[in-house]
Structures are given as C-alpha cells and as structure tokens.
Amino acid sequence: MSQVEISGIVKVPHSDISLSPATIQEAEARTCELKLTPLPEDRHHTTVLHQSVRGLKGLSKEVKKFQKGKTDSNPVVYPEVELPQINTDGAEVLLVEDTHPSSGAQRKTLRIVLRGQLQEALGAWVAEFCELNSLERDERELQRVYHISYSNLTGLPGDSVR
C-alpha cells in the first residue's frame, strides 16, 4: 500500500510509485525530442493535494509537530479504504504548457498522466481524506488530473506546470 507524505502538499512519494519500462522509454524519448530536462528520480511524485487547499497549511504544521515529537498523536485521519498503488500501466505521456502566474515565464512540463481507473480511485480517496481532515478543495483541486511530472525546462520540480 502506498502512503502519502504531508509537507505543504500531500503527495505519494517516488518510493511508492512504479514506473513501467515502456512509460519510462516514451518519457525519455519525448524529453529528448522536446529538449527538456528530466527531474531527479527521487523528486518524482504524485501530488494528491496542492498547498492551496484550505486547512492544509494548519494540518501540515500539526504533522511537523508530531514528527518532531512535540505532540503525542498523529493529527491526520486516513480513510479506511487504502490509497491505491500508483503505477504507470496504461498511462499517457503528455506535454503541458502555461505561463508562470507571477513571473510570466513560459513553463513546459512532460507529465505521465495516470490511467482513468487510477484517477477515479485517487479522486475518491482524496475526497474522503479531505472530509475526514476538514480540508476544503477549490474548483481547480476538484478538477485535478493525477500525474507524475517527468521533465521540464530546468529540471527543478518547482518549475513544473501546476
């Protein structure tokens, strides 16, 4: 079973993601073709909730206190249904582009978009997770497409399209 990490965002870390050889081969070829820079493998992850989700900042602070031993109980309530195993079987490699909202710089990110069945399972898990932890998603988060950012212009995860 995968488990999420909470550190500003809620994510499935690279250690709990299985990239199929065919997906890696396609992503590497597209990365070269588009002249993008791969993100470090240990930075591959699937964001399930962005830091903008109402209530997540407070929950993240409580998680840090718990991890440092400043509180005795974990503040996070997890759904009874297990988080689905993240793998790239049936995934689509897709280029997305936008303009950075503050700098105006063009951004390009090659994503591995998870297959539909996994999108649905993650969406259901996230909805229950938010309800259990009193987190409120905005319209953008409700429309989230779960993916793994594979490469972008700089190779820095923060420079990927949101």
**What is the per-residue pLDDT for 100?**
82
Give the C-alpha separation, 51 to 68, whole Å. Answer: 21
Here the tokens at position 149 are 């950012």
CB 55, CB 138: distance < 8 Å: no
Q: Are strands 106-113 and 92-99 parallel, antiparallel or unpaired?
A: antiparallel
Q: Give the pLDDT confidence of 38-66 residue by residue, as tens digits.
A: 999 999 999 999 999 999 999 999 998 89
For residue 34, give every residue at least 6 positions away whose Cβ sits within 8 Å of its Cβ, in sequence order, or none: 95, 108, 110, 151
For the chain, percent of residues with pLDDT exceeding 90: 77
**What is the per-residue pLDDT for 1?**
44
Here the tokens at position 109 are 């990110």
Q: Give the pLDDT confidence of 62-118 residue by residue, as tens digits.
A: 998 898 889 888 899 999 999 999 999 999 999 999 888 888 888 999 999 999 999
Rounded to 5°, the CA angle 58-101-29 comes to 100
Here the tokens at position 43 are 């930075």
For the whole model, what pTM was predicted?
Answer: 0.90
Give residue limits of the domains in the chain. 5-159
Give the C-alpha separation, 154 to 54, whole Å. Answer: 30
Give the C-alpha separation, 73 to 50, whole Å. Answer: 24
**What is the per-residue pLDDT for 2?**
54
CB 48, CB 19: distance < 8 Å: no
Q: Which CATH architecture has domain 5-159?
A: Alpha-Beta Complex (3.90)
CA neighbor of 135 nearest in space, from 79, 82, 83, 86: 79
